[in-house]
């Protein structure tokens, strides 16, 4: 259950880092486009010491710093700057990383240019698309043994082909093996959310092959052998949000909208069942999820950057007449209860929607850690 996952308690996470250090040189990682730190936290739980992180947004940096650095979970050097303005040599110098010293490079370049919400050819010329190639410039400088990129499925659309093909060309020319992109759904890895994302995994050609991605741990109804049922959204609402939680806030709605939510059938009801029809909704059948209640029996909807706004999707509480709180959204993304998002409702929602679910991040990084640890043991000289 996201609320009480013991692997994500602060003391246990400190133990993971300390244990990895006692075993010798810990595996070293860098997180580009780090956001609030979901991917960094998952990597930490898998045994990676993230020594450098790059993020330009003020409140995401405040969240990262407060939860991961001030809590003494990491010794990360956080570069609060536009990655286009950051020289890779500076990052290497200030984190003490020589070429080839980085084991894992992580990152999810901003995906709005690739988003499926962009109509027709919108997004083709979005300058954020080029950040995928900026990511590669750090690959070329750091020479990590493995790199992992996360993005939205729209990255694979034909209209964005040039960026992906160029990324592959540069990768192959630089001595990395890069398989075809993997499209993975978070619900298949124990996250109570229907969230599909694309992952690119590059490995130095000197590395042994890695069995990746890991096999799903969950499936619909648990019908696939060795899996459990997809976790339903109900796990997010099983425990009340602590009254002192600064993320226990939701949007304030007007009387008309609150009344409409009260009339919407609980546990999955839609706006059409509320008796309230806006003019823009009366002329078409699209966007049927907006103002809808979350169905607790199914994995939740994708947490977007507007996940706290019921006008942007099915983000109304299953039984209460209001949208979900920031804490509920964070639980959907499997952030632990102690992890607090800074900046208020809108900034917090944006950070949550942009994050990689922590539980999924840990699951995806673990086999990479095991590969690198095995390779390190194989390189050790035999005892005399």
Beta bridge pairs of residue 27: 48
Cβ atoms of 198 and 150 closer than 8 Å:
yes
Residue 280 falls in the annotated catalytic set? no
Per DSSP (E only), the strands in the chain are 27-32, 48-55, 77-80, 104-107, 146-151, 176-177, 182-185, 196-204, 218-219, 228-229
Which residue is catalytic, options 102, 111, 218, 307?
Answer: 111
- Per the structure block, which two tokens stand in for 210? 């890695």
Tell me which residue of 115, 150, 120, 143 sits closest to 40, measured CA to CA: 150
3-class SS of residue 196: strand
Distances (CA, A) of 284 to 103, 270, 289, 313: 51, 15, 13, 16
382: DSSP letter? P
Cβ atoms of 342 and 58 closer than 8 Å:
no
Give the Cα separation of 369 and 200 in Å (integer).
Answer: 16
Per DSSP (E only), the strands in 56-192 are 77-80, 104-107, 146-151, 176-177, 182-185
Which residues does the annotation mark as catalytic?
Answer: 111
């Amino acid at each position: 259950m996201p609320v009480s996952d013991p692997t994500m308690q602060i003391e246990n996470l400190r133990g993971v880092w300390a244990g990895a250090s006692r075993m010798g040189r810990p595996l070293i990682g860098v997180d580009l486009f780090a956001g609030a730190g979901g991917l960094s936290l998952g990597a930490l739980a898998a045994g990676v010491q993230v020594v450098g992180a790059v993020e330009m947004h003020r409140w995401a940096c405040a969240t990262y710093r407060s939860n991961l650095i001030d809590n003494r979970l990491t010794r990360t050097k956080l570069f609060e700057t536009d990655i286009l303005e950051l020289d890779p040599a500076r990052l290497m110098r200030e984190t003490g990383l020589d070429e080839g010293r980085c084991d894992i490079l992580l990152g999810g370049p901003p995906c709005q240019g690739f988003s499926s919400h962009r109509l027709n050819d919108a997004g083709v010329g979005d300058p954020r698309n080029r950040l995928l190639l900026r990511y590669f410039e750090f690959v070329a400088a750091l020479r990590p043994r493995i790199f992992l990129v996360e993005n939205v499925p729209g990255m694979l659309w034909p209209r964005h082909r040039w960026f992906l093909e160029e990324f592959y060309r540069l990768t192959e020319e630089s001595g990395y093996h890069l398989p075809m992109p993997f499209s993975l759904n978070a619900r298949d890895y124990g996250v109570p959310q229907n969230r599909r994302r694309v992952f690119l995994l590059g490995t130095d050609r000197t590395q042994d092959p890695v069995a990746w991605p890991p096999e799903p741990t969950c499936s619909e109804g648990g019908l696939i052998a060795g899996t459990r049922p997809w976790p339903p959204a109900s796990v997010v609402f099983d425990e009340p949000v602590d009254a002192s939680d600064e993320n226990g806030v939701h949007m304030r709605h007007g009387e008309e909208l609150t009344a409409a939510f009260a009339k919407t059938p609980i546990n999955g009801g839609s706006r059409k069942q509320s008796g309230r029809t806006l003019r823009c909704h009366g002329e078409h059948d699209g966007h049927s999820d907006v103002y809808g209640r979350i169905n607790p029996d199914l994995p939740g909807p994708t947490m977007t950057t507007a996940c706290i706004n019921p006008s942007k999707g099915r983000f109304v509480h299953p039984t209460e007449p209001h949208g979900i709180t920031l804490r509920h959204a964070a639980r959907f993304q499997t952030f632990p209860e102690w992890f607090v998002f800074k900046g208020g409702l809108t900034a917090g929602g944006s950070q949550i929607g942009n994050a990689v679910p922590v539980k999924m991040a840990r699951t995806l990084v673990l086999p990479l850690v095991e590969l690198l640890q095995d390779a390190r043991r194989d390189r050790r000289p035999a005892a005399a």
